[in-house]
Amino acid sequence: MGILWDSILLLLVATFTLFLVRVVLFKTGLIYMVKLWRRKLIDTFHVYQFYKVPEFNENVQENQLYSKVYAYLNSLSSIENSDFTNLFTGKKTNEIILRLDRNQVVSDEFLGARVSWINGQNDDGVRNFVLKIRKADKRRILSSYLQHIHTVSDELEQRNTELKLFMNVDDQNKKNGRWRSIPFDHPCTFENIAMETDLKNKVKSDLESFLKGKQYYNRLGRVWKRSYLLYGPSGTGKSSFVAAMANFLDYDVYDIDLSKVVDDSDLKMLLLQTRGKSVIVIEDLDRYLSTKSTAVTLSGILNFTDSILSSCAADERIMVFTMTGKELIDPAMLRPGRVDVHIHFPLCDFTAFKTLANNYLGVKDHKLFSQVEGIFQNGASLSPAEIGELMIANRNSPTRALKYVINALQTDGDRRGTAGRRLLLESGSRRATTEEVSEDMSGLLCGGGGGGSSPAVKEFRKLYGLLRIKSSRKSGSFDVAREMKDG
Ligand SMILES: Nc1ncnc2c1ncn2[C@@H]1O[C@H](COP(=O)(O)OP(=O)(O)OP(=O)(O)O)[C@@H](O)[C@H]1O
Ligand SMILES: [Mg+2]
């Protein structure tokens, strides 16, 4: 009897002691030490294998698997149990997102096997993930586990509609790649940009047929890319148009700052480090070249669009160059294939003005419109940016806004008109200037304005289906002739 009581008492004491130990372990956090020792002990009885997933390959090109693992790990609930996790605000209000910190370990389970990932970094600062897996499990799960990561990260990517704006950085050691990104949420779309509806639609359909053209480009043995030149005075919407293109295509944007590019070969490396489904833009090209504020040459820039090297870069991309005028640039440099579509961005005409008044002031018609029209007809003009600013500043009173616009057109706009007339003396007429440009292009594409097309040119037209965009500021009409639809 006594023995029985002793045993019960012992059991109670043991249970109570265990309970106390557990409370102490959990309250003091010592449980983590115990878990660590346990893990170490188990480790001594298992043979592990390690797999490293570096962020870049030896050519400093992005390793797609790294980004997939990154997306996958950050979606795991076990990230909360990592020793150290970063907290960031998310896109939605009050949303907090968790991101692994450097050198932290996150564990995962797949088909009953436990694996862990270390968010590591080499001595030279290159980031990587290291997968630790038991040798016994490796044969059984590794390939299906990696496949699982692919599937999950692809699903996550499809759900994540956020576009990115990449900027090149002046990274001396170049170990961590040359691009840094921020979310791209520019509100500009083709709907809110003031531009000829006809031209807008033609650009949209050109982009749409580009998107569908993968097989067509492959069949021709061409890289799946298309390049645009946007030219016109400051404030006429060139950069906004790039944003509208990216939003329309759902593409990321790579904005190349030429002042941070060391030379032509550095530019090629930058191209190699871009992803597909992107708009690569070089803004104000003529300014860089005329002020010599870049070490890159024009041929370096344009070769970058059509050289053999471009076939090594990611597919499905749009290249865009913006400049104020093409006069300083050798036409050979802008030949089709290098630059497929040229679009002129003129100063405001009455039609564009009415679009701006509708967008910015919500005014479709107004008694002052006839006066504004008269001023435009007399040759005065301003950029959409200038007119837009006046409208925004006076948006509470459309009448006041229109009076400001009239006043500005009569003062600043008149001077612009004089400049226009000077241009008229130099090249015949402004209309002639723009048509001369497009005829240069049609000459290239269509065998010259004179009519007779050489067989080579006809072949060329069949192959490339280029756009011929004529613009005339005076008539405000654009003639986009599609010779053949892509794809
Ligand atoms: N065609 C347009 N339609 C609507 N808004 C416009 C248009 N053009 C310019 N704007 C407005 O003017 C501002 C400047 O435009 P943007 O930066 O696109 O001009 P840009 O041609 O790139 O000028 P720059 O040559 O100086 O870089 C933007 O805020 C934009 O909203
Ligand atoms: Mg711009």
Asked if pLDDT for residue 413 goes beyond 70, the answer is no
Q: Which of 240, 242, 247, 287, when mutated, tests ligand 1's pocket best, judged by the most ligand atoms within 8 Å of its CB?
A: 240
In this structure, the residue with its CA closest to atom 18 of ligand 1 is 237
> Which atom of ligand 1 has the smallest separation from the CA of 352?
1
Asked if pLDDT for residue 35 goes beyond 70, the answer is yes
Ligand nearest to the CA of 281: 2
Residue 333 or residue 19, greater confidence: 19
Q: What is the mean pLDDT of residues 135-154?
A: 91
Q: What pLDDT does 332 receive?
A: 73
Residue appearing with tokens 């946007």: 230
Phi, psi of 123 (to 5 degrees): -60, -35
Q: What is the mean pLDDT of residues 66-73?
A: 92
Q: How confident is the model at residue 444 (pLDDT cuts 50, 70, 90)?
A: very low
Q: How confident is the model at residue 314 (pLDDT cuts 50, 70, 90)?
A: low
pTM attached to this predicted model: 0.72
The interface predicted TM-score (ipTM) is 0.98
Q: What pLDDT does 22 receive?
A: 85
Q: List C-alpha distances in Å: 226 to 137, 209, 484.
A: 47, 11, 15
Q: What pLDDT does 285 receive?
A: 85
- Vertex 142: Cα angle to 138 and 147 (nearest 5): 175
- pLDDT tens digits for range 128-141: 999 999 888 888 89
261 exposure class (CB count in 10 Å sphere: 0-12, 13-18, 19+): buried
| CA of 334 relative to ligand 2 center, distance in Å | 19
Q: What is the mean pLDDT of residues 396-416?
A: 85
Residue 248 or residue 98, greater confidence: 248
Asked if pLDDT for residue 42 goes beyond 70, the answer is yes
Q: How confident is the model at residue 310 (pLDDT cuts 50, 70, 90)?
A: low
List, in order of start, the domains of the chain with CATH numbers: 37-159 (no CATH), 181-345+429-482 (3.40.50.300), 350-427 (no CATH)
Asked if pLDDT for residue 305 goes beyond 50, the answer is yes
Give the lowest-confidence range in 190-194, 195-199, 334-338, 469-473: 469-473
Q: What pLDDT does 215 receive?
A: 82
Q: What pLDDT does 179 receive?
A: 87
Residue appearing with tokens 């932290």: 104
- Ligand 1 site residues, Cβ closer than 6 angstroms: 193-195, 234-240, 345, 384-385, 388
Phi, psi of 379 (to 5 degrees): 100, 0
**What are the residues facing 113 on neighbouring strands?**
110
- Vertex 413: Cα angle to 411 and 415 (nearest 5): 75
Q: What pLDDT does 425 receive?
A: 27
